[in-house]
Chains A and B, each alone.
Chain A
Amino acid sequence: MNRAAAASRVATMLPWAWLLVFVAAPLVVVAKISLSESAVAQPPYRPRWSWTLDPAAWQAFADGLGLDSYRALLADDLYWRSALASLAIASAATAILVLVGYPVALAMARAPKRLRPVLLAIVILPFWTSFLIRVYAWIAILRPAGLLDAALGLFGLPPLELLNSTPAVLIGIVYAYLPFMVLPIYAVLERRDPALLEAAADLGAGTVATFRTVTLPLSRPGLASGVLLCFVPIFGEFVIPDLLGGSDTLMLGRTLWSEFFGNRDWPLASAVAIVMLLALALPLAWLRESGLRRGDARR
């Protein structure tokens, strides 16, 4: 019996220890390094402080509390513009995703019951295939003299040369994130009670009124999780703006990447990460709350 209790304790401790070491500790380290001074040495940062109880060391730490990286963030409008561009692109992409994803989810939920698992599998499958490759596929389509321009040429239309522009980034994001929007909406729509729709029809509601008064309110939780599941990662997206965007398509994820890999300024990259985390804290807390609530409801 004791061995079983010990095994159960280990089974509890292991995930906790894992999460503390690999999820919580790294974020603390990022915060710490964002307060350090950048140096050319390898690794390229000079810690401003270390763990000690010596009061003199703490005094030295307080004197040199390094907000340099954050000051640099405020001083250079590159970071402001990346933050605003990230916000604008993530908002626009999420809005388009709702407009595209909702009708697809609704059509799936209205499909004959027999077909639904097949449709679900078809929508999930792209999620299993490589994100990088799916974005890459768009380069051949969007680039100047690419497949899109060739197709437009067949109809005598002028070429668009969309690659390396913000519209190309939006197309890539909508393409890559569509399953994340469709699935949560479909999940709530699929469970809705058909009797409610019949009742609305019996009471004289037309298609639009039924949608507005029954379907849309019922699907709100799915819509909310779809919006958050898309918005948060899009806000920090790196691959899509880097491959499909132009040099003027600034996004925070890309700025962080170039601070880190290009300028090798680790403290500044860490400061960008902390700012991003703070910007996302609110939507993330909301996501977790709604997730917990749903989890509790099922229990």
Chain B
Amino acid sequence: MRGARFGGLDLAILAVGLAFLYGPMLLLVLYSFNASRLVTVWGGFSTRWYAALLANEPLREASLVSLRVALVSAALATLVGTLAAILLARPGRVAGRRTFTALLLAPMVLPEVIVGLSLLLLFVALGFERGIWTVTLAHATVTTAFVAVVVQARLLGIERDLEAAARDLGASPATAFLTVTLPLAAPAIGAGFLLAFTLSLDDLVVASFTAGPGSTTLPMRIYSSVRLGVTPEINAASSLLMGLVGAAVLVASLASRRRAPTT
């Protein structure tokens, strides 16, 4: 029975793996409270970089742009992604399923530089002015696939019998869908929205291609200062962002656990 049981070696592997995953992030948070400007010198605990962050006008502006883009693009991606997931989860043969799947998943698996470049060239060809809307549409395109994958997994897990039962009891297909399937899929749709929101908030490459003057997002701002080297202010901004996302994911997972105890 050796080999089947969880042992000391497994524990060691997990400990090392998780230390590798979390160590750098914890160091970053730790050093955001460093009073010294130098990376390797610990100058005592201080929140001065957080104060400096609040006074940093371009960074604040970029945060607002990022939040607006993330909210609107996540809403769009949730709508399109959920509809795509419903199409994919339909049983039996659906015309063009292979093409549809390929197009849906392409922005998720293709390198970001290709997605960003191709969307920019589309916007230029259509004569769209580059700005906050082009970034929003581009982000919605990238994140739709993620929403669709999350929602489709949930739809496949829902007992088809439940919808059939509703139909037997006289509900129209639309009513059966709206009163049975949709509420059951709601936690996954919420998770999809949250995923799309955080992915948009995080994206540098696609935004850099599709942004115009006045639509510089937070990652673009962070990237341009990171290129100049490590700055304690960016450490503080990163720590805040990680804390925010961590809290949001925690709340969402607790909420979905309460609503869907079976998953």
Contact = CB atoms under 8 A, between A and B. Distances in A.
A39 interface: no
Interface string B1-26: 11111110111011001101110110
A197 B4 contact: yes
Q: Which of A15, A21, A126 has the most CB of B within 10 A?
A: A15
A133 B242 contact: yes
Interface string B35-51: 00001100000000000
Given A132-B222, A141-B24, A273-B118, A207 B2 contact: yes
A292 B101 contact: yes
B251 interface: no
A211 B241 contact: no
A257 B83 CA distance: 34
A260 B117 contact: yes
B32 to A, nearest CB: 11
Given A11-B83, A232-B109, A130 B122 contact: no
B107 interface: yes
A57 interface: no
**Which of B106, B110, B113, B245 has the most A CB atoms < 10 Å from its CB?**
B113
Contacts of A261: 208
A19 B104 contact: yes
Contacts of A106: 10, 13
B246 interface: yes
A140 interface: yes
A104 interface: yes
B114 A277 contact: yes
B233 to A, nearest CB: 12
Given A143-B39, A266-B121, A291-B105, A110 B5 contact: yes
A85 interface: no
Contacts of B245: 128-130
B59 to A, nearest CB: 14
Given A15-B80, A276-B114, A26 B122 contact: yes
A112 interface: yes
Given A16-B100, A132-B219, A207 B3 contact: yes
B205 interface: yes
B24 A175 contact: yes
Interface in A248-262: 253, 256-257, 260-261
B17 A100 contact: yes
Interface of A: 1, 4, 7-8, 11-12, 14-16, 18-27, 29-30, 33, 43, 100, 103-104, 106-108, 110-112, 119, 121-123, 125-126, 128-134, 136-141, 143, 145-147, 150, 175, 178-179, 182, 194, 197-198, 201, 206-207, 210-211, 229, 232-233, 235-239, 243, 253, 256-257, 260-261, 266, 269-270, 273, 276-277, 280, 284, 287-288, 291-292, 295, 298-299
Interface of B: 1-7, 9-11, 13-14, 17-18, 20-22, 24-25, 27-28, 31, 39-40, 79-80, 83-84, 86-88, 91, 98, 100-107, 109-115, 117-119, 121-122, 124-125, 137, 140-141, 144, 156, 172-174, 195, 198, 201-202, 204-205, 208-209, 219, 222-223, 226-227, 229-230, 234-235, 238, 241-242, 245-246, 249, 253
Pairs of residues from A and B, 6 with the lowest C-beta to C-beta distance, nearest first = A236-B111, A26-B118, A207-B3, A107-B10, A137-B24, A104-B17
